[in-house]
Amino acid sequence: MSVNLATMLREGTKKSHTMAENVGFVKCFLKGVVEPTSYRKLVANLYFVYSAMEEEMEKLKDHPVLSHIYYPVLNRRQSLEQDLQYYFGANWRKEAVLSKAGEEYVGRIREIAKTQPELLVAHSYTRYLGDLSGGQILKKISQRAMNLSDGEGTAFYEFPEIPDEKEFKNQYRQAMDELPVDMTTAEQIVDEANDAFGMNMKLFQELEGNLIKAIGTMLFNTLTRRRTRGSTEAELAT
């Protein structure tokens, strides 16, 4: 039996998707306000999340459900390693650490891989389709906000083995619609996808303190420069 799982996921996660987009860190990011320290912490967390997901998917590549959406061309671990080396340097493996929210996220992936593997469909959908859909936009925002040259620190957003991302997404959604799952399992996958959005939101919320502090410092420095310039101009005028 197959269900229209891709449609169920799109409709069933609309609210969660909107909530995730309205987290302060994400709203600032989309407006071009990116604080490098916060961003590299996010990249570190994503590295551990994708590593867990891709390791489990590799182990379960012959699973009767997961085998249908097993696409190694989507893997992000290697690209995130490149980005971590850029942001942290050669010693990145010791400096990149998993946050509390990241631990929860990774723990959930490991848990369902053992107890209910088909729920990994939800995590694959939430992360990879999002990456494919907004990757190039987010790449450009990152480059402008952090003054990155092309190819520096943005490997995560590149899918060199997928020449037509729109066509691939259609193929992926079709594969999801044809998964051999019943309605009960499909509904559980939708619930898990909503939980996955919640876990991503927690990753973003952890970073808001650093972002707010950075914005405050930026505003303070701007005001200080203006006052200094104003005082200098007043002195010159006398």
pTM of the model: 0.87
Domain ranges of the chain: 5-226
Tell me the backbone φ, ψ of residue 67, rounded to 5 degrees: -60, -25
**Per-residue DSSP letters for 156-221?**
GG--TT-S-HHHHHHHHHHHHHT-S--HHHHHHHHHHHHHHHHHHHHHHHHTHHHHHHHHHHHHHH
Q: What digits encode the pLDDT tens for the residues 26-51?
A: 999 889 988 889 999 999 999 999 99
User: Lowest mean pLDDT: which of 17-21, 149-153, 226-230?
Assistant: 226-230
Of 142, 185, 109, the C-alpha closest to 30 is 142
Q: What digits encode the pLDDT tens for the residues 138-148?
A: 999 999 999 99
Q: Are 190 and 169 in contact (CB under 8 A)?
A: no
**Per-residue DSSP letters for 22-46?**
TSHHHHHHHTT---HHHHHHHHHHH
Of residues 27 and 234, more confidently modeled:
27
Q: Are 70 and 171 in contact (CB under 8 A)?
A: no
Residue type, 203: L
* Architecture of the 5-226 domain: Up-down Bundle (1.20)
Measured CA to CA in angstroms, residue 89 lies from 77, 78, 141, 146 at distances of 17, 15, 22, 17
